[in-house]
Amino acid sequence: MEKIIIEQSKELNGEVVISGSKNSSLPILAATILYSGTYKLSNVPDISDVRTMLKLIESLGGKYSFKNNEVVVDSSEISHYEAPYELVKTMRASVVVWGSLLGRFGKAKISFPGGCAIGDRPVDQHIKGFESIGYSTKISNGYLETKKITSIGGEHFFDLKSVTGCENVILASTLGDKKTILKNCPEEPEVVDLINFLNFCGGKIVKKSDTIEIMPSSSLKAPNKAYKIISDRIEAGTFGVLGCLPGNKIKLKNINSDDLQVPLKIIKKMGTRVDIAKSSITIEGGGEIKPFNIKTESFPGFPTDLQAQFMVAALLANGESKIIEEIFPSRFIHVAELRKLGANIKLKNNTAIVNGVASLNGARMQASDLRASACLILAGIIAKNKSEINRVYHLDRGYEKIDNKLMNLGVKIWREKE
């Protein structure tokens, strides 16, 4: 295993090219299973979660190549409908192969998904959605076994705005027998990207606000040209936090500012200068950080995946900030690690009350999940002296070459064997 060492780094300046979206790449890769063909994708981040998804596709009988952020998937020989425990347990997002296998074979068998430790994320929304459109699921020996029991199609209202639940039902109904209408759907850009990809391949899907209508299609076609994955708004927001720290000036390239309206609004409230261009944003920290309040919500609200990173800015703010976590109430595991640096944070139910301090001091920390890893990296950059972060394999699941990107900005960061 590796650990990351960071020394306090000030006056960071430069450009960061934001990678393709992890949360778009995974369901779109899963979608290539749906119909036999050779699919080309560009702007795919070279991260361990993408590599795991490609191995999963290979285990089902598919073939792939991955070079220079371009993926080619040949799904013509996929013949298995069981997603193996060894791969699914390592990455929760692999659950989206469930819908694709149902769409292709009318049946699927997957183990309960794994991932990082940020609370209970059940699959009930997936199962309810499948049942509404003609599938039945039973649980046996740690596996979810789903099969078609009637013609596929119908109407479903989601109890919660589950992103992967909605994506799975979209995939399971795209090649259905009759029209499917999904209501109370999440509006995240990654869901829209999946819909755009399926339509790119010949799907007949229309999204109107939080309602999605899927007309039955007997087949899909793998286009000759590549489909480009959208940029990663969470990576952009992570580097955006770094830019808003006093003395820093960072330009984010390959970005869609429309996907970051609420995080950018919070960054501006901190007293940060933000210049938005067509496909880039320049963020320059002010003399001090003003306190702020955020509440995580489904898109277009503030994303839960940026909550931990924005907390780092609150650590040095001139006053009290409040962060309310509405999506995953237990997603405050990183708070204990930040306290090791001298952070003043109080937790009350799903609210973190952060009082800014004059400075932080480096310490040894341990990452618990992907976004907490990014949070601890940012904290190590602003803390005096040296910080050490263990279990950084979480970081590599979702951030492409983050060490190099940080070093190019002037951050003193390197890896060592634990």
Q: Could you give the 3-state DSSP secondary structure of residue 1? A: coil
The residue to which tokens 């940026």 are assigned: 306
Q: Could you give the 3-state DSSP secondary structure of residue 340? A: coil
- For residue 378, which of 348, 346, 337 has the smallest C-alpha distance? 337
CB 162 within 8 A of CB 156: no
Among the listed residues 116, 166, 244, 375, the single catalytic one is: 116
Rounded to whole angstroms, the Cα distance separating 259 from 234 reads: 10
Residues 6+ apart with CB under 8 A from 67: none
The residue to which tokens 């489904």 are assigned: 298
Per the DSSP assignment, residues forming a β-bridge with 389 are 4, 365
CB 352 within 8 A of CB 338: no
Q: Tokens for 182?
A: 């999904």
116 noted as active-site residue: yes
Rounded to whole angstroms, the Cα distance separating 308 from 332 reads: 8
Q: What is the DSSP string of 234-268?
A: HHHHHHHHHHTSTT-EEEEES--GGGGHHHHHHHH
Handedness of CA 138, 141, 144, 146 (dihedral sign): negative
CB 388 within 8 A of CB 359: no
Run of H or E including 129? helix 124-132
CB 282 within 8 A of CB 251: yes
Question: CB burial class (10 A; 0-12, 13-18, 19+) of residue 175?
Answer: buried
What phi, psi does 125 have (nearest 5°)? -65, -30
CB 287 within 8 A of CB 248: no
Task: Write the CA distances from 10 to 166, 264, 359, 414, integer angstroms.
Answer: 43, 22, 13, 16
Query: Amino acid identity of 201?
Result: C
Q: Tokens for 311?
A: 């907390």
| Catalytic center residues | 116
